[in-house]
């Protein structure tokens, strides 16, 4: 068995760990291996002729048009301080409850996660908005930072999010490839909308676990989360009308975007367009949008979108060379030899993805790892929606796990020096256990992810 595909992956990851750009590393390493293989006869150089078609397919992929639109939607809500208004006003509703401010942070974090879907953006934004008032209120630093970092990772699982859009597109391709490899020439399809529907129940369960933990902890140790309001901006009580005026439009926007997808009225791309236009209308309605803010929104959207597509181009070249060396057959044979059959193979993949989450972003894992292991797992009979939700929750847990979790690094960058790093780590641990509990539930009851898509879209 030719070990070259494994060597290709190992070299690429080694160079990534050295700090080189992801897209250039993937494409560069792949082309070097292709060149060497062409000289010694191990690689067919005519396979490189498929690159232009692959790149055209990426640029003409209607599903991926949702990426810049969802990014634009999230950046508008962030830059125009609409999300900050949500935090201010929701604190008036939940402030008197045990752990009320932490509950408010979770509620706003869910909406931020749904609108941005990017862990770093949500964690940093929530850290800047919520951490100062939580510390001033007298919240334990571990509770405050743990709540913010855990809530920031919800962007991996709460639809509609960039992570699910990208993962859904990659899994759709992997599912079709797996069926073709099995001789099924009329393959069934799985869409981003299927993955959105599959993530709703697990996402709600996880939010429920977060809220339950906060309430129990606040009741048992009220000194860690004081209820007494103080005279600061977040607890200045507005009128009831002002609260609803700030809450309803963003909530209606989220419901409109997700509801149009699940109701079958719009594709994720069309819904993303509605979301982007709706966010722009909200910003204009609140008189928060000027040319300077719009310029910042457009620049940040263009930067994020360019990064995503540049990585996708590099990953496409990498996967082409990987398959040219027979990497698909190698992965399938390795999975077949793993003890425990399908369950054993799935557990190994989940462990690898979890560990890679310490060093790679979700975009890199989605474009590099999933196309390699996805077809092999799906060929073994793993449900694509279940697999997608498992990967999303797994990465969410990885991004929160000390000492390498990305969410913890992002939050450390915006916390004051008075909050030690150990407090951030301690605060994250209970939420990690809650996410592991959700992962276990998904393994035991796959219907947690597959039932709702079947009810909405019917069996595949």
Contact at 8 Å (CB) between 103 and 227? no
* Cα radius of gyration (the chain): 23
**Tokens found for residue 324:** 């040219």
pLDDT at residue 438 tops 90: yes
Task: Give the pLDDT score at 341.
Answer: 77
Task: Give the pLDDT score at 436.
Answer: 93
pLDDT at residue 64 tops 50: yes
Region 164-168: what's the mean pLDDT?
84
Task: Give the pLDDT score at 156.
Answer: 80
Domain ranges of the chain: 4-457
Query: What pTM, to 2 d.p., does this model score?
Result: 0.78
Sign (positive/negative) of CA torsion 411, 417, 418, 421?
Answer: positive
Measured CA to CA in angstroms, residue 320 lies from 5, 239, 310, 338, 376 at distances of 11, 59, 16, 25, 16
Alpha helix positions (H), 357-383:
362-379
For residues 434 and 452, give the distance between their C-alpha atoms in angstroms, rounded to a whole number.
Answer: 22
Contact at 8 Å (CB) between 187 and 141? no
Which is nearest to 282 in space by CA: 314, 313, 246?
A: 246
For residues 425 and 404, give the distance between their C-alpha atoms in angstroms, rounded to a whole number.
Answer: 10
For residues 274 and 280, give the distance between their C-alpha atoms in angstroms, rounded to a whole number.
Answer: 10
Contact at 8 Å (CB) between 91 and 235? yes
Contact at 8 Å (CB) between 161 and 196? no
pLDDT at residue 361 tops 80: no
Q: What is the pLDDT of residues 364-422, one digit of tens each?
A: 788 878 888 888 888 888 888 999 999 999 988 888 888 777 788 778 877 888 888 88
Task: Give the pLDDT score at 119.
Answer: 62
Measured CA to CA in angstroms, residue 373 lies from 50, 237, 332, 370, 382 at distances of 21, 53, 8, 5, 12
What is the DSSP annotation of 188-237? ----HHHHHHHHHHHHHHHHHHHHHHHHHHHHH-GGGS-----SSGGG--
Q: What is the pLDDT of residues 248-295, one digit of tens each?
A: 777 788 788 878 877 778 877 888 888 889 888 888 887 878 889 899
pLDDT at residue 233 tops 70: no
Q: What is the pLDDT of residues 176-231, one digit of tens each?
A: 777 777 776 666 777 888 888 899 999 999 999 999 999 999 999 888 888 755 44
Sign (positive/negative) of CA torsion 48, 53, 59, 63?
Answer: negative
Poorest-confidence range of 40-44, 243-247, 323-327, 416-420?
Answer: 243-247
Q: pLDDT band at residue 357, thresholds of 50, 70 and 90?
A: confident
């Amino acid at each position: 068995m030719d070990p070259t595909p494994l060597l290709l992956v190992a070299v690429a990851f080694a160079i990534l760990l050295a700090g080189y750009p992801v897209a250039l590393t993937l494409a560069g390493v792949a082309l070097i291996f292709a060149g060497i293989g062409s000289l010694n006869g191990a690689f067919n150089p005519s396979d490189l002729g498929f690159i232009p078609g692959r790149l055209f397919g990426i640029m003409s992929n209607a599903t991926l048009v949702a990426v810049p639109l969802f990014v634009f939607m999230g950046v508008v809500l962030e830059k125009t301080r609409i999300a900050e208004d949500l935090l201010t006003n929701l604190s008036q509703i939940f402030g008197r409850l045990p752990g009320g401010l932490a509950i408010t942070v979770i509620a706003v974090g869910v909406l931020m996660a749904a609108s941005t879907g990017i862990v770093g953006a949500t964690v940093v934004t929530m850290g800047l908005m919520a951490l100062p008032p939580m510390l001033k209120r007298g919240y334990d630093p571990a509770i405050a930072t743990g709540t913010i970092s855990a809530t920031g990772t919800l962007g991996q699982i709460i639809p509609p999010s960039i992570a699910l859009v990208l993962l859904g597109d990659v899994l759709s391709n992997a599912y079709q490839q797996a069926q073709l490899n099995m001789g099924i020439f009329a393959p069934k399809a799985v869409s981003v909308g299927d993955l959105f529907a599959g993530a709703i129940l697990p996402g709600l369960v996880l939010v429920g676990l977060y809220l339950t933990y906060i309430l129990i902890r606040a009741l048992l140790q009220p000194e860690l989360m004081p209820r007494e309001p103080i005279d600061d901006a977040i607890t200045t009580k507005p009128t009831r009308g002002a609260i609803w005026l700030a809450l309803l439009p963003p909530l209606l926007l989220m419901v409109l975007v997700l509801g149009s997808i699940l109701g079958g009225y719009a594709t994720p791309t069309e819904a993303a367009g509605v979301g982007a236009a709706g966010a722009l209308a909200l910003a204009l309605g609140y008189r928060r949008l000027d040319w300077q803010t719009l310029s910042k929104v457009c620049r940040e959207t263009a930067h994020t979108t360019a990064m995503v597509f540049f990585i996708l181009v590099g990953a496409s070249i990498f996967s082409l060379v990987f398959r040219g060396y027979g990497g698909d057959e190698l992965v399938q044979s390795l999975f077949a030899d793993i003890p425990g059959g399908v369950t054993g193979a799935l557990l190994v993949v989940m462990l690898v993805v979890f560990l890679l989450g310490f060093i790679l972003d979700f975009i890199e894992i989605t474009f590099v790892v999933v196309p390699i292991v996805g077809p092999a797992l799906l060929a073994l009979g793993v449900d694509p929606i279940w697999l997608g939700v498992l990967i999303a929750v797994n990465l969410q847990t990885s991004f929160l796990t000390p000492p390498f979790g990305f969410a913890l690094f992002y939050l450390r960058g915006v916390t004051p020096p008075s909050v030690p790093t150990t407090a951030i780590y301690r605060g994250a641990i209970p939420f990690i256990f809650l996410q592991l509990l959700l992962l276990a539930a998904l393994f035991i009851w796959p219907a947690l992810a597959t039932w709702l898509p079947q009810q909405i879209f019917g069996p595949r």
